[in-house]
């Protein structure tokens, strides 16, 4: 999907005004530009001969050929045309939503959307409206109501509930109403698709989605994120996105870690089957009196309790049995939807999962 005419004109104006930003990789010149005042970034890890630190933002001295090569490799992995790495999922979402939507545009977002996207929306000049969670009817009513350039923000797996939208139907609605669809894939990377490439790629919807945000801090076990889209989107973010422009580049060690984790993911993505087996065991053993929310693509189960005090008491009880579960309290979730969030992992055992379910049942029987 292409940038809007309005955004393309802003990029063209930068070129005409000789203010267009582009990334340049490292050079052999004598350094009088970087922020590496004490030279610490030039220290090298002996085991892998990688420099330790960054020297500035990517538009000044912090860009490297290895970062750009990794961006291209990750884009290929997820069947995207181009990508731009950010230092975290938070700054990726904050930057995207505060940069792309313009005054007069509209952002429609699922009511359960992540806080990082909400914060980006607050910094935007666009108008914004939520639609009921996973509701195709409410989304279409708003797509009909609002005209102009409309962005639709959803997650492929929702972090608090573990459920997923009907992504095919939502993408069709966006195509029908000429809206730009943005999908946060934070909790689907590594778990969804043959090689963990995410829900958009699994469903072959790459050409119907304007941008996807992949984060590395969940299944990949490291840190950072990448915004995937076309070359124009990447160029626009480089030129206008403040959370990219005005931050220090990721270190060589950081980039190497992301690279190694993607290589490992490609080899070991089959481990996701263990997670879904464990989730199934838990659901079969835990009392049906609990209200459970999850989805077929998710490693997350949400057990609704509905009140902060009881939710905290339940989590303490489960922790006393030796299991690390955490309460999700309001205002992180809406009042009345307080819950215990359980995340399953390939390294959890069937025995432990059965014992966890037993502990929940014991609390309920008290």
Has residue 108 got a pLDDT over 90? Answer: yes
pLDDT score of 38: 44
Helical axes 308-320 vs 350-365, angle rounded to 10°: 130
Tell me which of 171 and 5 has the higher pLDDT. Answer: 171
Alpha-carbon distance of 311 to 90, in angstroms, equals 27
Exposed e or buried b per residue across 344-354, where buried means at least 16 C-beta atoms within 10 angstroms of its C-beta: bebebeeeebb
In the chain, what are the domain boundaries?
5-25+63-250, 271-365
Q: Please, what CATH class does the domain formed by 5-25+63-250 belong to?
A: alpha beta
Asked whether 130 and 110 are in contact (CB, 8 A), the reply is yes
Mean pLDDT, the chain, rounded, equals: 91
Least confident of 75-84, 111-120, 251-260: 251-260
Burial 295-305 (b: 16+ CB within 10 A, else e): bebbbbbbbbb
- The answer to whether 86 touches 214, Cβ cutoff 8 Å, is no
The domain 271-365 is classified under which CATH number: 3.30.300.20, 3.40.50.300, 3.40.50.2300, 3.90.1150.10? 3.90.1150.10
CB distance 303 to 291 below 8 Å: yes
User: Does pLDDT of 251 surpass 80?
Assistant: yes
Residue 213 scores a pLDDT above 90 = yes
Does the structure show a pLDDT above 70 at 41? Answer: no
Q: Note the pLDDT tens digit of each residue in 321-353.
A: 999 998 999 888 888 999 999 999 999 999 999
pLDDT of 333 reads 87
Q: Which segment, 14-18, 36-40, 129-133, is predicted with the most confidence on average?
A: 129-133
């Amino acid at each position: 999907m292409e940038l809007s005419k309005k955004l393309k004109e802003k990029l063209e104006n930068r070129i005409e005004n000789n203010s267009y930003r582009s990334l340049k990789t490292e050079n052999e010149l004598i350094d009088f530009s970087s922020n590496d005042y004490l030279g610490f970034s030039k220290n090298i890890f002996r085991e892998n001969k990688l420099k330790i630190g960054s020297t500035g933002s990517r538009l000044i001295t912090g860009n490297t050929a290895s970062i750009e090569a990794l961006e291209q490799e990750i884009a290929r992995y997820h069947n995207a045309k181009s990508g731009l790495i950010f230092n975290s999922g938070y700054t990726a979402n904050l930057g995207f939503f505060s940069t792309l939507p313009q005054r007069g545009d509209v952002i429609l977002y699922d009511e359960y959307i992540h806080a990082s996207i909400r914060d980006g929306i607050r910094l935007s000049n666009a108008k914004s409206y939520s639609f009921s969670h996973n509701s195709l009817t409410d989304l279409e009513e708003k797509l009909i109501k609002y005209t102009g350039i409309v962005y639709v923000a959803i997650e492929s797996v929702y972090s608090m509930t573990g459920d997923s939208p009907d992504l095919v139907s939502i993408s069709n609605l966006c195509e029908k109403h000429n809206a730009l669809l943005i999908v946060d894939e934070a909790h689907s990377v590594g778990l969804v698709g043959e090689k963990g490439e995410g829900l958009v790629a699994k469903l072959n919807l790459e050409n119907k989605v304007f941008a996807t945000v992949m984060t590395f801090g969940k299944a990949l076990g490291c840190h950072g994120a990448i915004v995937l889209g076309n070359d124009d989107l990447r160029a626009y973010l480089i030129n206008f996105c403040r959370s990219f422009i005005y931050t220090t580049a990721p270190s060589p060690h950081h980039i190497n870690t992301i690279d190694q984790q993607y290589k490992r993911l490609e080899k070991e993505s089959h481990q996701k089957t263990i997670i879904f087996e464990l989730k199934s065991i838990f659901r079969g053993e835990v009392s049906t009196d609990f209200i459970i929310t999850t989805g077929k693509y998710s490693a997350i189960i949400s057990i609704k309790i509905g009140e902060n005090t009881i939710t905290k008491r339940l989590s303490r009880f489960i922790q006393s049995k030796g299991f690390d579960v955490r309460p999700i309290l309001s205002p992180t979730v809406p009042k009345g939807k307080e819950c215990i969030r359980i995340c399953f992992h390939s390294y959890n055992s069937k025995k432990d999962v059965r014992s966890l379910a037993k502990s929940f049942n014991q609390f309920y029987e008290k």
